[in-house]
Every structure is written in structure tokens, then in C-alpha cells.
Amino acid sequence: MLEALPLSRKQVESVATSEASVNIWDGAIRSGKTIASLLRWLIYVADAPHGGELVMIGRTREAIGRNVMGPLQDPALFGEFAGMVSYTTGAPTGTILGRKVHVIGASDAKAEKVIRGMTVAGAYCDELTVLPEDFFTQLLGRMSIEGAKLFGTTNPDSPSHWLKVKFLDKLHKLPHWRYWRFTMDDNPALSEDYKARKRIEFTGLWFRRFILGDWVAAEGAVYPMWDPDKHVIGWDTLPPMQRLIAAGIDYGTTNATSVLLLGLSDETDGRGKDRSRLVLVDEWRHDPRSGAPRLTDGQLSGKVRSWLSMAHLPSQVLQPEYVVADPSAASFRLQLHQDGLATSPANNDVSHGIGMTATLLAEGQLVVADRCRGFISEVSGYSWDDKATEKGKDEPVKVADHSMDASRYALATTEALWRTALPNPLELAA
Ligand SMILES: Nc1ncnc2c1ncn2[C@@H]1O[C@H](COP(=O)(O)OP(=O)(O)OP(=O)(O)O)[C@@H](O)[C@H]1O
Ligand SMILES: [Mg+2]
């Protein structure tokens, strides 16, 4: 079907034999799961049973646009078929090979309602572990058409995750499921150098999950790859910024309030190639626990706003484009609003935001100015909570996590603004 795409053996095998009702590609990051499963999805859509709908599901519609529709529309990957895929990011439907596909963000409260009345002829699921279990069960129940198939990819998560416990651990009892586990060796586009580099960059939990592809419990440090020599830069030697993307705010009354400013640098390497990075450029903290007075929302708002209006870069004057705040801080957000500062509620998917931050740190795409003292003092001690792990949840210990939360809010909420502005990680290691 596609001469331009030289598939690895595992990719070919998975595309050729994914004839089960449920077909799962699991494993390491960038191991070729999405490309193989998308090729299979194209083949499926071309000939999918009629009398039912086709659905594509991910964390959000934007994530589907970026992770799935983006590669599908790339002629370098899918040749002439790329032109037969149309989707406007955020839209509820798109078209693939002339057929309508419903695009559903699982984190949308209305997601379940969308599929409740539907008969599903085919489903593609990106990042399966982010789907709520009820939603997945509902989806399987909707696939009542003869020959209906689901194709899904996932990275490993906690061994107690519903997908692992209820399905992947029971594959011997699920004859209508097929499963492939990918490693980076299954992606023909990765050089040996690239793979060797990833094995060094990713450490601890992230090495085991993202590189080895193992479903292991979260324990120890959240960011074991943190290395001040690599990640901290002197504020007065900051590179120029293309933009200040956001201020992330974690709000506390008895606990600290922390504000972190996220910038996107404007850097090139010796050959003139774009080497932009994300940079936490400045931080404001107010911590009643270390002797500072407790402030009313009005006082806090005044201090935060006056700090935001100050200069945050050594030789540029830029204001943050967005202010994203702790979604649970309703009173403080209202106060800021009354005082003339509009805020957006932060994306608070903790494990997604942490995985993203860990990957950015590992790959050197996030660095921190030495003015961000709260961040630097919290990051090395930030640890997984053993008690939560025992209950099968990935949760960090909720102490000294204020700048951790503020930076995560800024990063996770604005991904659509910076993801495509960072150099392709595959090229970075070349
Ligand atoms: N057969 C192939 N030929 C050329 N490039 C490929 C091939 N397979 C994968 N790639 C390239 O490698 C990149 C990573 O592959 P892919 O997105 O399929 O990985 P993944 O396993 O889904 O990763 P993640 O877990 O991070 O989502 C792709 O963006 C694509 O550029
Ligand atoms: Mg993928």
C-alpha cells in the first residue's frame, strides 16, 4: 500500500495480523506504535463495515489533532493518502478516505454521551490509559456490528491501571484481543545513537516505563533526571525569548502561592537549525509557612499582578500571553478577574503533566533560570506517594509541591502553543 514507508518487521506483523476485535499496540515511547496502528486504521477505514460510525478517541480533540491527524496528514509518512485525511483541530468530526469520523476527547465531560447512543463500526484510541474505564467499557459495548474493530495505542502506566489489570493481564482469556509490545528497536526511523542517548537521558521510573516499556509502579523521585548542572541556567545569561507563553499559578492560603513564568526561547545551533527550548524564566513565591504573613485574596492579587507587570528577562520586555491558575482556586481566580486579570483554569491531569515534564527534562527541552528558587528547591525532593502507589494510583506526596504544580499548570495547559515550536526530538539527537 505504501512504498514510501519502510516498516520494521514488528510493524509489518502488527499491521498484517490486527484482525481481532480489539488490537493493542503497547510499549516504549517513539517505538513506532502510532505509525503502524495508523496505517492499519487507514486500511480498516477504506473498507470498514457500514451501518455504524467510526470514532477516534484521545485525551482531548487537540491531542487527537496533534498525535494522530498530524501524522496521518504527513505525506512523508502516508504518501498520497495524507491528502485524503481532513481535520480541523478541535472539530467534532473529520474525514478519512471519504468517510466521516467522530473525534472525541475523553476528558470532555460530554464524551460518554456522544457514544452512548451510537453503533460503532470502528474505533481508534490514542493513549488508551487516559480513557476512563467506564468510557472504554461503554465503547466496547457500542461495537455491536459484525466485524467491528478497535485499534489502540498506549504507553505503560501503573501495573494497577484498569487496562493492565482487567485486560492486558488476562489476554489468555481474551481470544478476541491481539496485543503487541513495541520497543524503540521496532521503529526503523531511530538510529542506534538516538536509542543509546534515550537510554541515558531517561532514568528511574521513566526509563523503565518509557524506554523499556514496562508497567511498573511509581516509586522514589518523580523527576530522577533532574540535574542542576544540566537544567539550571543563570538568569542573566538567559537566551532571548520568542514569547512568554504563560504564567502558571498555584494558590495557597496557609500554604505557599507560587507563580512560574514559562518562555519559549529563540535559539539556533551552529548550523542555523532551530533549537528552541522551554524555559522557566522567573518565579514569585509567597509562603506563610516560612514566616511571611497570611494575605487576603485581594492582597495576594495585588502582589501577583504587580509582579507580573515587572521585567522578567534580562534584556527584553515581554508579558505572559496567558495566566493559568489552579482550577480549584475559584475565589482567587474571581479576585484576579475583578482586578482586571483574566485567568484560564489549568489542565490538572497530574500524571499526564508529570510525564510531559519528565520527558522535557530528560530530553533537555525544559530548563530553569536560577531565579526560580522554589522550583529548584522542590524538584529534587518531589517524590511519589507510597500510600497512593499501594492503592494503584500515581500520586506525588503533597508537600513542597507548589512550584511543581505551578510549572506543571503552565506547561500542560499550553501544550498546543509550544509543541510544534520545539525541534523534532528525532532530529535533535541526530
Ligand atoms: N516505519 C516508519 N518509517 C519512518 N518513520 C517512522 C516509522 N515508524 C515510526 N516513524 C517515525 O518515528 C516517530 C515515532 O513513531 P510513533 O509516533 O509511531 O511512535 P509511538 O510508539 O507511537 O510513540 P509514543 O509512545 O511516543 O506515542 C514518528 O513520528 C515517525 O516520524
Ligand atoms: Mg504514539
CA–CA gap between residue 400 and residue 46 (Å, rounded): 52
Domain-located, residue 430:
no
Q: Is residue 172 part of a domain?
A: yes
| One domain, residues 294 and 370 | yes
Q: Please say which residue of 155, 186, 217 terminates a domain.
A: 186
Residues 167 and 313 grouped into a single domain: no
Q: Exposed (0-12), middle (13-18) or buried (19+): which is 397, by Cβ within 10 Å?
A: middle
Q: Give yes or no: residues 137 and 279 share one domain.
A: no
Q: Strand, coil or helix: what is 94?
A: strand
Q: Is residue 192 part of a domain?
A: no
Question: Cα–Cα distance between 178 and 15 in angstroms, integer?
Answer: 11
Nearest CA to ligand 1 atom 2: 7
Q: How far apart are CA 422 and CA 279, in angstroms?
A: 12
The number of domains in the chain is: 2
Nearest CA to ligand 1 atom 8: 32
Are residues 382 and 329 located together in one domain of the fold?
Answer: yes
Residue range(s) defining the domain that contains residue 316:
228-422
Q: How far is the CA of 222 from the centre of ligand 2 (A)?
A: 22
CA dist., res. 257 & res. 292, Å (int): 11
Which of the listed residues 186, 208, 242 is the one where a domain comes to its end?
186
CB of 215 within 8 A of CB of 159?
yes
Q: What is the CA radius of gyration of the chain?
A: 23
Flag whether 80 is in a domain: yes
Q: Are 181 and 42 in the same domain? A: yes
The domain that holds 180 is classified in CATH as 3.40.50.300
Cα torsion 194, 200, 206, 211 to 10°: value is 40
Note whether 393 and 304 are within 8 A (CB): no
* Residue 272 in domain: yes
Closest atom of ligand 1 to 5 CA is 3
Last residue of a domain, one of 133, 163, 186: 186
DSSP state of 366: E
- The residue whose CB lies within 8 Å of the most ligand 1 atoms, and thus the one to mutate among 12, 33, 59, 187, is 187
Q: Give the position of cell 542555523.
A: 272
Do 182 and 278 have their domain in common? no
Cβ atoms within 10 Å of 238's Cβ, excluding its own: 22
d(CA 306, CA 294): 18
Task: Classify residue 389: in a domain, yes or no.
Answer: yes
Instruction: Give the three-class secondary structure for 333.
Output: helix
The verdict on residue 404 lying in a domain is: yes
Mark whether 302 and 409 lie in a shared domain: yes
Residue 70 and residue 134 in one domain: yes
- Same domain flag for 273 and 395: yes
Is the model's pTM score more than 0.85?
A: yes
All 3 cell numbers of residue 89?
Answer: 483541530
The reply to whether 164 falls in a domain is yes
d(C-alpha 266, C-alpha 390), whole Å: 44
CATH of the domain at 323: 3.30.420.280
Q: Is the domain of 111 the same as that of 254?
A: no
User: Is the same domain home to 163 and 232?
Assistant: no
Where does ligand 1 bind, in terms of residues with CB under 6 Å? Answer: 5-7, 11, 29-35, 71, 153, 155, 182, 187-189
pLDDT (tens, 9 = 90+) of the chain, 430 residues, equals 555 678 999 999 999 999 999 999 999 999 999 999 999 999 999 999 999 999 999 999 999 999 999 999 999 999 999 999 999 999 999 999 999 999 999 987 788 888 988 999 999 999 999 999 999 999 999 999 999 999 999 999 999 999 999 999 999 999 999 999 999 999 999 999 999 999 999 999 999 999 999 999 999 999 999 999 999 999 999 999 999 999 999 999 999 999 999 999 999 998 999 999 999 999 999 999 999 999 999 999 999 999 999 999 999 999 999 999 999 999 999 999 999 999 999 999 999 999 999 999 999 999 999 999 999 999 999 999 999 988 888 999 999 999 999 999 999 999 999 999 999 888 775 5
